[in-house]
Structure 1
Amino acid sequence: MMKNSRHEYNNLAKGKTPAPFSLRLTFEERAKLQEAANGVPLGTYIKAKLFGEDLEKVRRRNTRPVEDHIALARLLAALGQSRLSSNLNQLARAVNTGTLPVHPDVEAEISAACREIVEMRSELLRALGKSGGTP
């Protein structure tokens, strides 16, 4: 047995975690490996291939968390065109300073802003493939 191997064996026997193993790959090699892994973490894929494990048992990550890219684009466009954040910031500042007059126009603007937020939330949930009713 080589000295290094004996040292690693002694560490394992004492319950110590072995040092990680690193592998240098070219950009092309890594790209081929990631393509072959098909969303499986590279370490998991390499170990499965090396030790002949079945990859079907590996829990794969969701590689496409956005289900509807068009809906997500609509939401981002709406956020970019709206002055919603600016208006809400102005309302919050007025509330904190005590200068917010409570009359029907202000109440209508706040209600409209809340409806817009609910619509954006629903659109975002739809784009992410989640179902969620209005709060």
Structure 2
Amino acid sequence: MALFSRQKPAPVAPVNPWVLAGAAAKAQRETEASLAAGSPVFEPRKGGRPTVEHPRTRRVSMSLTEEEHESWTVAAAGRSLSAWAREQVAAQLEQGQPQNNGSEVARLRADLGRVGSNLNQLVRAVNSGHTPGSAELLEAVQAAREELARVRGELP
């Protein structure tokens, strides 16, 4: 269409290389002068969102009851709930609590099983007519109590 139109394109003004070189030289002189004067030269800020050093890219979700949500919000004291929860979890991990409690729970179950087995043997002996001496019975019951107290003390 432009080939057959009678309008001529607007002339483009030629670029003067001396003017461009002069602007660059002026900027260079200003930078050198400010460095010589001791004042720092600040680079212009980049546009857009600021970059984060350690961005959080993984999302964890949980559901709370109304009461839990209210109590957590009160405990957060004006901070965001996610930041508060993250701080609480990090604090628990820093306290040195074991991350994998499976082996500890298995050991405690084994201890409780041994205590239960001892009590069952004692009750079977009493029911079958084998009456242990009162001192022996008292000692066995006391040992069972001490073992239970120890196991309870180890439970979280």
Name the TM-score, length of structure 1 as normaliser: 0.37
Structure of greater Rg: 2
Name the TM-score, length of structure 2 as normaliser: 0.33
